[in-house]
Amino acid sequence: MVNSIRRYEGRHAVITGGASGIGFKTAERIVSEGGTVSLWDVDAAKIDEACHALGSSTHGIRLDVSDPDQVERAAKETAEKYGKIDILVCSAGITGPNSKVADYPIDQWKHVFDINIHGLFFCNRFVVPFMQKNAYGRIVNVASIAGKEGNPNASAYSASKAAVIGLTKSLGKELVSDGITVNAITPATVDTPILQQLKPEFIDYMLSKIPMQRFGKVEELASLITWIASEECSFTTGAVFDISGGRATY
């Protein structure tokens, strides 16, 4: 799809978790607006499918964001191939188990943190130096409304997403003089494959919390992310954007 809006002409974006859901739809929008995209994802089959769907403006790298060595290599490979990295959208994430605190498996708690916050930090950490070289960058970290409000039986997920918000606020201030903005978004439930990780009763609970009484659409997420990740969003950093159908407005 070619878009008459061309905000991403000449720009290169890295999208973690870009082979599915919110990340994939964001990649599609950036490509449609003239940009090139590297999809960093752990799922090789989905990467192939996504690259095939998006065409020659897209490059895929199979990696696990929780491994800092893999992330560092991917950042170098991407910058060598495209000459720069202008945009980073960190969308890779997992929900972890729906479990009460007294039963919460310790290894699963650590696994959720390894991916949702340590992995996200590694991506910020290893991409920022390439943005600093050009004194330009846009980072969008995908948190969750759970990081502000908490969700019952989802303590690791909620706590890891709260950490994403804290990291974003900190880097937003730290990187101002480098021409890099760092913002986060806090979606309520969005209709994507990640919902398959949750029990049906938990999905019903989350729907009941949204005043608009529906889940978000990936197109709505891509619209917000591609505005924050564009040059148009030039006076906002360290901010947290709600996209929650009215669930939380603070």
Nearer to ligand NAD, 39 or 131 (CB): 39
Nearer to ligand NAD, 6 or 217 (CB): 217
What residues have CB less than 8 Å from 19, skipping those under 6 apart? Answer: 39, 41, 43, 46, 47, 49, 50, 60
Stretch that binds ligand NAD, among 3-11, 27-35, 53-61, 90-98 (CB under 6 A): 90-98
List the one residue from 35, 96, 97, 119 that touches ligand NAD (CB under 6 A): 119
Residue 55 beta carbon to ligand NAD: minimum distance, rounded to whole angstroms: 19
What residues have CB less than 8 Å from 28, skipping those under 6 apart? Answer: 1, 53, 54, 222
Residue in 82, 104, 136, 157 annotated catalytic: 157
Nearer to ligand NAD, 42 or 182 (CB): 42
Q: How far apart are CA 33 and CA 30, in angstroms?
A: 5
Buried b (16+ CB within 10 A) or exposed e, 143-182: bbbbbbbebebbbbbbbbbbbbbebbbebbeebeebebbb
- Does the annotation count 157 as an active-site position? yes
List the one residue from 19, 37, 123, 162 that touches ligand NAD (CB under 6 A): 19
List the one residue from 12, 29, 46, 247 that touches ligand NAD (CB under 6 A): 46
Q: List active site positions.
A: 157
Kindly list the residues in this chain that would bind ligand NAD in the complex (CB under 6 A). Answer: 16-17, 19-23, 41-43, 46, 64-66, 91-94, 115, 119, 142, 144, 187, 189-190, 192-194
